[in-house]
Chains A and B, each alone.
Chain A
Amino acid sequence: MFVFFSTCTVYLVLFGSTQADENSCGLSMTWLETVSVTMDVSKNGFHRDLVTTVDFGPGFPDGLEALLVHRLPSGIYIDQYQLASLKEDTGLQVLLGSVVDLEAPAHTSEEFIVLVYPALDQGSLKATLPIHGRYHKPSLAGKRFELVEIKLPKLILRTDTCTQLISFPPYKIVDAPCTVHNLSICQWLDIQHLQEQDPVSLEIPLGDGSLVEPVCAGTLLVTLLCCVILSRSIWRHGVF
């Protein structure tokens, strides 16, 4: 069952530790450097899939847990009820940082945080998150599409065998819910070098604001015409 805690605030607190250690709970620096994250958007139109793939090199630590922290822009939304049904079908585990309005346009919405707990599968993991484009304000400058950029998620890792992580530069320790059930907070190692890839983007069609006058005139003309034609027919055949 997908549990959604509206009170959940996802906070990532930096620990000021400066201790240099090449190895923290089996997460060694050399192994961490083999980790790579790629993200892609599949499908077209307003309903897309955000596919994130994480590849790990050999030497996979035991009991590794991964968490993808997405900060998604106001131009898109995620349907928590669709996620609930997906959880039953594919086992996708997602925690939303705030309540998401499914119907508001982009300019009245805010960016939001999504935590994805992907299942690890032999040296790599893949999470497919369904996202939906929001309607945007019509463009007055003749722009036909709005480019919505989605930044790469932050990947954070921990091992369930070890509770006391030690940070070592450039990796920092952050706090985040241990599991999708959001019952306790764990320490995770923030994998920093991954933030360099360009964001992926999707195009959302925009209404043409420069056409507002002909569109209004055309709409009112046609509806008035239909109204007159129908009225005439009703007047002729009705009993008054």
Chain B
Amino acid sequence: MASIMESVLSKLMNKNVLFTVSFLVRLVLVSFGVYQDRTMVVKYTDVDYHVFTDASKFITQGQSPYHRSTYRYTPLLAWILTPNVYLSHVFGKLLFITCDVLSGHLIYLILRQRGLSCEAACRVCSLWLLNPLPAGVSSRGNAESVLTALVLATLLCLELRQLPMAAILYGLAVHMKIYPVTYALPIALSLQRKENGEERRGGWWRRALGFLLRLLNKELFLFAGVAGVVFCGLTVLFYSMYGWDFLHETYLYHLTRRDIRHNFSPYFYMLYLTADSPWSLALGLAAFLPQALLLLLVSLAFHTDLALCCFLHTAIFVSFNKVCTSQYFLWYLCLFPLVLPRLTLSPKQGVELLALWFAGQGIWLAPAYYLEFEGYNTFLLIWLAGLIFLIINSFIMVQIITHYKPSDTMQRLKAE
């Protein structure tokens, strides 16, 4: 039995087999979704997928996609999904699962670029490709996989030093979802010119000036210029088409979002209780500071290893955010396979941390279920669970930081 399992696993670790199986699994899930939607009361398809399709319908009628309430995405997405209306309702899902498998492929390419063997890269990649979470999310019609593919493609192009392409992808990624905007600082820092011996001498102000001069180089201007043109170009285009609605729903809503309804954020109960109070603004700022400080610190500390830096960036951003739902977890999970090969944790420790992460979610989900579906007043428990989940996430991040074996360049820099 064990030998059969072993041979199946080794076959699965063949790159072509792995990717074919992953795609087929997702296709089966999509077909099952069609069946479940037709026959059962509980639907497989994500609510957001209907939102996208409705928005596309408005587009095909020559109207604004923002006529569909709760459509809070770029019009580009509704445009891309117009075949949902013209061709078939499953078009979008097929696109999302393709992006999902493509994300797996990008993870594979980045890992190869970072020196892993083909087989080792496949093994790590399977954590994404055979993971039920991304497969389920994309086959249910959630668009997160488009973004994971864009973010991973940006990182790959940066690893390959293909700056114009990286900049185009990055501009597009920020346009699709605002959160990758936080990667701007680590990317800018990673593009800085190398420090030479002379610059290392002198007073602090000379070093600061040297740092600034190293930072403002041709590569940074190229990257910022191209990414800026893509982002601003799309913004101007859609603003001219859909006006204020577009700016508000795509960007401003997400920046100013204050959802008082229960979610994974440690700040949820505080924001609910103070929603109408005069110090609501001050508290919002107080909640923003730890997030901003940590993002700045991580950028400065780990920009030489962009994959690690972006992973920590996203994990911190999501954990310390004022709103956090389970789909946000995908934002950092897609970057985790890039970090994993360099972790010196034992498999046992790894499993323990994974179990801890799931336990954190379980502790939150139980009172949230009782509040939402049973009507018990469990607000206090949800609040405590949110805080425990933050502590767990912080603990896991600390474990990852301490058990990360840096690349040779990073080690050299550290030694210097």
Listed in ascending order, the chain A residues whose CB lies under 8 Å from chain B are 43-47, 81, 85, 89, 99, 101-103, 105, 135, 137-138, 144-145, 202-209, 211-212, 215-216, 218-220, 222-224, 226-227, 229-231, 233-240
Listed in ascending order, the chain B residues whose CB lies under 8 Å from chain A are 41, 43, 47, 50-51, 54, 69-70, 259-261, 266-267, 269-270, 272-277, 283, 286-287, 290, 293-294, 297-298, 300-302, 304, 312, 316, 320, 371-380, 383, 387, 390-391, 394, 397-398, 401-402, 404, 406, 410, 413-414
CB of B339 to closest CB in A, whole Å: 13
9 contacts between A and B (CB under 8 A): A137-B276, A207-B272, A209-B273, A219-B270, A220-B270, A223-B287, A227-B290, A227-B294, A230-B316
In the assembled complex, which residues on chain B have CB atoms less than 8 Å from the CB atom of A202?
375
Q: Is the CB of A135 within 8 A of B272?
A: yes
In the assembled complex, which residues on chain B have CB atoms less than 8 Å from the CB atom of A208?
273, 379-380
> Of B51, B302, B394, B404, which is in contact with the most chain A CB atoms at under 10 Å from its CB?
B394
Q: Apart from A44-B373, A222-B391, list 17 A-B contacts with CB within 8 A.
A: A81-B54, A101-B69, A105-B260, A205-B375, A207-B272, A212-B274, A215-B273, A220-B286, A222-B266, A223-B266, A226-B390, A226-B391, A227-B320, A230-B294, A234-B298, A235-B301, A239-B410
Main secondary structure, interface of B, reads helix
Docked pose: A211 CA to B380 CA in angstroms: 9
Docked pose: A168 CA to B23 CA in angstroms: 68
CB of B346 to closest CB in A, whole Å: 19
Docked pose: A204 CA to B290 CA in angstroms: 33
Docked pose: A216 CA to B373 CA in angstroms: 27
CB of B336 to closest CB in A, whole Å: 17
Contacts A44-B375, A81-B50, A239-B410 hold; do A231 and B293 have CB atoms under 8 A apart? yes
Q: Is the CB of B413 within 8 A of A239?
A: yes
Contacts A85-B43, A135-B261, A207-B273 hold; do A237 and B297 have CB atoms under 8 A apart? no
Docked pose: A205 CA to B320 CA in angstroms: 26
Pick the contact of B294: A44, A103, A211, A234 (CB < 8 A).
A234
Q: Is the CB of B269 within 8 A of A46?
A: no
* Closest chain B residue to A82, Cβ basis: B47
Q: Is the CB of B398 within 8 A of A238?
A: no
